[in-house]
Homo-oligomer: A and B are copies of this chain.
């Protein structure tokens, strides 16, 4: 078998049998795959091999990597809580390059435009491939077949699952820490580079062979609170700056001003209200995009009007969620990442604003997770088809431009709503067949556009619930036809080769779809 042997999975998608030398399990439908075996057990360590005084500092990242036994072909992981302000991932990969390492696998929890220089490290053979989101320039690089290895995209929960289950073995985890002590206890909510939660780095700290904490704010032991436990950390490196604070968190997050998108946000809020989902003790998750923020504002007004309080809201947290908490409209924020300064200040000081990890929130290979207990999740998509299958990774031309984030994991909410414009740049969002399948239609309940709201026919209960409301409920086919009428036909199908450049993993580690190299 090779990476050019394919089979057709349960979603009807052609996927490679082997990815980066490892045999794959094809997607088997939601809940179709039964995992076997045991969680990964990292090596047993002994206090005898660590300094009794707890001081694990070494001179620099290069020294730390050497002490971790850096070798060609190793996997180096980083986290993305510093977002587009991150300096540590590049520092680590460039230090590895200076040490002469080749063929590394970079395993970020997400990548950002600031990581564009990794392309040069890939050109030079230092990095063989990225398993993680390949946004923007890195996505294009991959789509054009320039990455030697195959990309593997996983959801936030899927990343935890893959590491926990031993599918990805992290040799060296490099954890950027806004605050840390010399023992390696680390926290994200304080310090000049504060980013809020460090939840995405938690799995790395638990399962990697070696763990390096990099900080620009060393405090005396104990660093309180700690989210990363020093007992899992090998070395601590002090640097001048782990990131650019202006790029780590927004000063404030921006609500959409587009009239169409404001209308979509209003429809989503009204849908939750009119369908009876917005009731005392309910819960919801919405992202930090412009539509999502506007939705929260509409919903807040409706909650106030109805005298209804949420039990919890899920972050990514922003000023808008923090306001709900402060105004008593929710008991808790359960927060996976922190998007603006208000979010950081709140998680650092309010015990009702609780950091979660991809394990608690999202991992499908746990004894349940929080995602399925959320009453409504409001998500985006690049494309959705008439079977409600959706794509968040590629655009209609098949070029890889986005990671999965928590999107797949959130599909397990009780009511999953895609809040999307009916078209973007004259390209329709509702299509016959999504270029890339990121999530199956059976988990997507509602598609809200400015031209109407389509409810998945499988959710007869929701259709019943909004019967008689003033909401513009239509079939997805109707909305699609209307948009095609305006634009003048269907979009061009993507022009792709038969060479796979990346795969999309489902939440259980199976392969749900393939990203193909684009034609030049």
Contacts of A225 in B (CB 8 A): 351, 354
Is A406 an interface position by the 8 A CB rule?
no
Within 8 A of B (CB), among A75-107: none
Per-residue interface assignment for chain A, residues 293 to 304, with 1 indicating a CB less than 8 Å from any chain B CB and 0 otherwise:
000000000000
A39 and B37 contact, CB distance less than 8 A: no
Contact of A412 among B51, B52, B230 (CB under 8 A): B52
Pick the most buried of A184, A231, A354: most chain B CB atoms within 10 A of its CB.
Answer: A231
Please report the C-alpha to C-alpha distance between residue A231 and residue B369 in the assembled complex, in whole angstroms. 6
Please report the C-alpha to C-alpha distance between residue A312 and residue B221 in the assembled complex, in whole angstroms. 9
Contacts of A311 in B (CB 8 A): 220-222
Contacts of A365 in B (CB 8 A): 44-47
Q: Assuming the A-B contacts A44-B165, A224-B352, are A54 and B372 also in contact, with contact meaning beta carbons closer than 8 angstroms in the complex?
A: yes
Q: Assuming the A-B contacts A234-B367, A367-B184, are A46 and B35 also in contact, with contact meaning beta carbons closer than 8 angstroms in the complex?
A: yes
Contacts of A284 in B (CB 8 A): none
Pick the most buried of A53, A220, A221: most chain B CB atoms within 10 A of its CB.
Answer: A221
One complex includes copies of this chain to the number of 2
Please report the C-alpha to C-alpha distance between residue A332 and residue B229 in the assembled complex, in whole angstroms. 17
Contacts of A31 in B (CB 8 A): 46-48
Is A257 an interface position by the 8 A CB rule?
no
Within 8 A of B (CB), among A34-59: 34-48, 50-54, 56
Is A334 an interface position by the 8 A CB rule?
yes
A41 and B41 contact, CB distance less than 8 A: yes
B224 and A183 contact, CB distance less than 8 A: no
Contact of A229 among B46, B281, B360 (CB under 8 A): B360
B366 and A232 contact, CB distance less than 8 A: yes
Where chain A touches its partner, the secondary structure class is loop
Is A131 an interface position by the 8 A CB rule?
no
Smallest CB gap from A181: residue in B: B373
Query: How far does the Cβ of A163 sit from chain B's closest Cβ, in whole Å?
Result: 12
A183 and B364 contact, CB distance less than 8 A: no
B372 and A52 contact, CB distance less than 8 A: yes
Please report the C-alpha to C-alpha distance between residue A220 and residue B359 in the assembled complex, in whole angstroms. 20
Please report the C-alpha to C-alpha distance between residue A453 and residue B313 in the assembled complex, in whole angstroms. 59
Contact of A41 among B40, B46, B222, B359 (CB under 8 A): B40
Is A456 an interface position by the 8 A CB rule?
no
Contact of A47 among B50, B166, B412 (CB under 8 A): B412
Within 8 A of B (CB), among A184-239: 184, 211, 220-222, 224-225, 229-234
Q: Assuming the A-B contacts A44-B35, A354-B225, A359-B231, are A220 and B369 also in contact, with contact meaning beta carbons closer than 8 angstroms in the complex?
A: no
Return 12 A-B CB contacts under 8 Å, by A number: A31-B47, A31-B48, A35-B44, A39-B41, A39-B43, A46-B364, A183-B373, A220-B281, A221-B312, A222-B332, A222-B334, A229-B360
Given A31-B48, A44-B164, 8 more A-B residue pairs with CB atoms under 8 Å apart are A39-B41, A46-B364, A47-B367, A51-B368, A52-B368, A220-B281, A221-B373, A222-B312
